[in-house]
Chain A
Amino acid sequence: MVTAINPEPTPSQMRLLIIEDDRESAEYLAKAFREVGHVAELAGDGEEGLSLAQSGDYDVLVVDRMLPKRDGLSVIGTLREKGDTTPALILSALGQVDDRIKGLRAGGDDYLPKPYSFAELLARVEVLSRRRGGPSEETSYRVGDLELDRLSHQVKRGATEITLQPREFRLLEYLMKHAGQVVTRTMLLENVWDYHFDPQTNVIDVHISRLRSKIDKGQERPLLHTIRGAGYMIRDGLR
């Protein structure tokens, strides 16, 4: 309804390779990715996955941890050895902290335990593909009239300065770094708080609503949006 004011930037199309031996989940994923406008190809085992990954030009690899013929970690390890830095997200039924560490050590860029929601996977894959686009380590971020200076730790909405607690600052920083992308609660917990467990309560939501009250309260155009069933997004304009 309000989209006309700020035309939504079309999400850049990604080429994905899904290496997953369970046919049904693989096809479900491919279909879901295609529905949101991405290109997804499938590989059913580790060997096929490795050869496709080496020959094709993909933005992100989605790799199941346990695969026939060649283990998922070995696929990523081999690619990294050959200097291929295509971001890889590992999907695994093993969700414990040490499994995750093992996966990241093998060269994976992110680790998502099964079962996962597609929204979570999509959000993470988009962040990974964006990361590849170039280092987004700028010294300041800007979304609409919201400005965050990473060096002086200053946050301004228009001309008004906003005072944030250190953690609120990091939360906003992470959201703004991925402006225009969905960021899930677990992503926030992992990247802002460095916890990899799943709290039973809506602890993140409360932090978000505090942050929202500081940056959006009394503003005509809210920037911090809740994306139902997925997470949050900071963006100039409404969806």
Chain B
Amino acid sequence: MTAFGKLIRTTAFRLTLVYLFLFALFAASLLGYFAWNTRRMITEQITETVNSELSELQQQYSHSGIRGLVYAIENRTLRPGANLYLLTTPQGQAVAGNIGSLQPGVMNHIGWANTVYHRLDENDSKNHFALVRVTQLSGGFRLLIGRDLEERQRLFGIVAKAAQWSVAIVLLLGLCGGIFVARRVLHRIDAMTGTAQRIMGGDLSERLPVGRSGDELDRLAENLNAMLERIEALMAGLQEVSDNIAHDLKTPLTRLRNRAEEALADAGNEAEYRAALERTIEESDGLIRTFNALLMIARAESGQARDNMVDFDAATVARDIQELYEPLAEDNGLALEVQTEPAIIHGNRELISQALANLVENAIKYGKPAEPAPGVKPSVLIEARRDAEGVKLSVIDHGIGIPEADRQRAMERFVRLEASRTLPGSGLGLSLASAVAVLHGGALRLDDAQPGVRATLAMPGRDVEQAGA
């Protein structure tokens, strides 16, 4: 597409054209109205002059008869810029006046008429136009009084010319203005398009240029930039996840493969094969779990799980999870306790249950005190509370705890702190819990329980009245 072609396709240019057309139409009709009005006024003026002269001459006629009238007419024709006069006998013979020739039949018709005429003293054959009035006088004489229309015509010509020029100038200026505005807009849009193409080309760090005027294009650019920011963050997250997946799925896959190979090479009897295969299945189950956890995190983070949100009491979730894990905790030498108060929340019950279950599993795994007090059974507490900030589901243990510096890192995917490397687990528990909290508009907090960890899913609650509505 040529530059010009591109230009005339812009919205700014098209809008300019529409405005220009409307404006020209407006200007033309204004001038037309002006011309029409002027013409009417001139005509009125002529009529008035002719009428007053007629009454004067009629008076002259009635006072001093035909002779006096002829004299008065001759007198008047000599004045500069004289009107038109013609006095005829009943036979149609011209007696006095300054008209040489008339359109035939004008004198036969009493009243107003437009006519072509020539003056007596004129030799050129150029036609002149006049507005005339013919009156019947007593004694069969007819008197014509008129005025040349040249003036009116000229004025009309001036106005028409002015109209042509002004419309032409309006069109020209408007077109130039339109092109100027369109080019400016086009320039900015081109800059945006260029950036967008570079971004599509893979450079996500590019940003659209934002001007200082704060107009709608700037606002658009700002919003698109904010969107790019979010996309870049998501892409970075995705990159990190795929790196982690590559690492944390390939490691067990390699292990799996090695074992199979080893079994093929070494195993001699059925029992050994069986054992190798069982280990293989165990390893693949672990892989599947990791995979499921990753998918679940991805889904929670993308916000897709918002579809299945309902109102429910977080206290019930806390009690159900306590009931589910209590025997396991006891097997691990821990007392799992629960303390709840009604805490209505709007969310995905399944996801919140799983998040809480992950926190409880962590507490059971790492919640044993470093130096257990003799005779006292260490405990883990599940708590559901409702306060001004919202709903809090906490799991509190009194184990080895997480050093302050490591707390943020602990929530990242696949991060398994040094202290936990030897225990089984995918390293995804806390990041799933965190993703679930974020999905519900909250956050996962890890605090010091002195000693131990207080892991809290803090999420906005729902008022009971609101829930009922």
B-binding residues in A (CB < 8 A) = 95-98, 101, 113, 115, 117, 167, 193, 195-203, 206-207, 209-210, 229
Interface-side segment among B61-69, B222-230, B264-272, B324-332: B324-332
Q: Is B354 interfacial (CB-CB < 8 Å)?
A: yes
- Nearest chain B CB to A168 CB, angstrom units: 10
* A196 touches which of B281, B331, B350 (Cβ 8 Å): B350
Q: Which residues of B contact A202 (CB under 8 A)?
A: 328
* A201 touches which of B285, B299, B328 (Cβ 8 Å): B328
Most B CB within 10 A of own CB, among A206, A209, A210: A206
A-binding residues in B (CB < 8 A) = 278, 281, 284-285, 288-289, 292, 295-296, 299, 304-305, 307-308, 320, 323-325, 327-328, 330-331, 348, 350-351, 353-354, 357-358, 361, 364, 424-426, 429
- Nearest chain A CB to B185 CB, angstrom units: 45
Please report the C-alpha to C-alpha distance between residue A201 and residue B353 in the assembled complex, in whole angstroms. Answer: 15
Residue of B nearest to A210 (CB): B327
State the 5 A-B residue pairs at the shortest beta-carbon distance, nearest first: A206-B327, A197-B354, A206-B328, A97-B350, A203-B328
- Besides A97-B305, A195-B324, A206-B328, 17 new A-B residue pairs in contact (Cβ under 8 A), listed by A number: A96-B296, A117-B285, A193-B324, A196-B350, A197-B350, A197-B353, A197-B354, A198-B289, A200-B289, A200-B425, A200-B429, A202-B328, A203-B325, A207-B324, A207-B327, A210-B327, A229-B278
Please report the C-alpha to C-alpha distance between residue A117 and residue B304 in the assembled complex, in whole angstroms. Answer: 28
The answer to whether B281 and A198 have CB atoms under 8 Å apart is no
The answer to whether A97 and B331 have CB atoms under 8 Å apart is no
Please report the C-alpha to C-alpha distance between residue A4 and residue B261 in the assembled complex, in whole angstroms. Answer: 41
Q: Which residues of A contact B424 (CB under 8 A)?
A: 200
B interface majority secondary structure: helix
- Nearest chain B CB to A112 CB, angstrom units: 12
The answer to whether A96 and B299 have CB atoms under 8 Å apart is yes
- Nearest chain A CB to B214 CB, angstrom units: 43
Please report the C-alpha to C-alpha distance between residue A197 and residue B296 in the assembled complex, in whole angstroms. Answer: 10
The answer to whether B281 and A117 have CB atoms under 8 Å apart is yes
The answer to whether B292 and A198 have CB atoms under 8 Å apart is yes
Q: Which residues of A contact B429 (CB under 8 A)?
A: 200
Please report the C-alpha to C-alpha distance between residue A109 and residue B281 in the assembled complex, in whole angstroms. Answer: 27
The answer to whether B308 and A97 have CB atoms under 8 Å apart is yes
- Nearest chain A CB to B269 CB, angstrom units: 19
- Nearest chain B CB to A65 CB, angstrom units: 15
- Nearest chain A CB to B88 CB, angstrom units: 106
Residue of A nearest to B357 (CB): A199
Please report the C-alpha to C-alpha distance between residue A113 and residue B296 in the assembled complex, in whole angstroms. Answer: 13
Please report the C-alpha to C-alpha distance between residue A27 and residue B467 in the assembled complex, in whole angstroms. Answer: 51
- Nearest chain B CB to A11 CB, angstrom units: 23
Please report the C-alpha to C-alpha distance between residue A209 and residue B330 in the assembled complex, in whole angstroms. Answer: 12
**Contacts A95-B295, A206-B327: A195 and B289 contacting too (C-beta < 8 A)?**
no
Please, could you name 13 A-B residue pairs with CB atoms under 8 Å apart, sorted by A? A96-B295, A98-B305, A101-B308, A113-B292, A115-B284, A193-B320, A195-B350, A196-B350, A198-B289, A200-B289, A200-B424, A203-B324, A206-B330
Residue of A nearest to B432 (CB): A197
Most B CB within 10 A of own CB, among A199, A200, A229: A200
**Contacts A96-B299, A200-B289: A229 and B281 contacting too (C-beta < 8 A)?**
yes
- Nearest chain A CB to B194 CB, angstrom units: 40
Please report the C-alpha to C-alpha distance between residue A210 and residue B429 in the assembled complex, in whole angstroms. Answer: 26
**Contacts A96-B296, A96-B299: A201 and B327 contacting too (C-beta < 8 A)?**
no
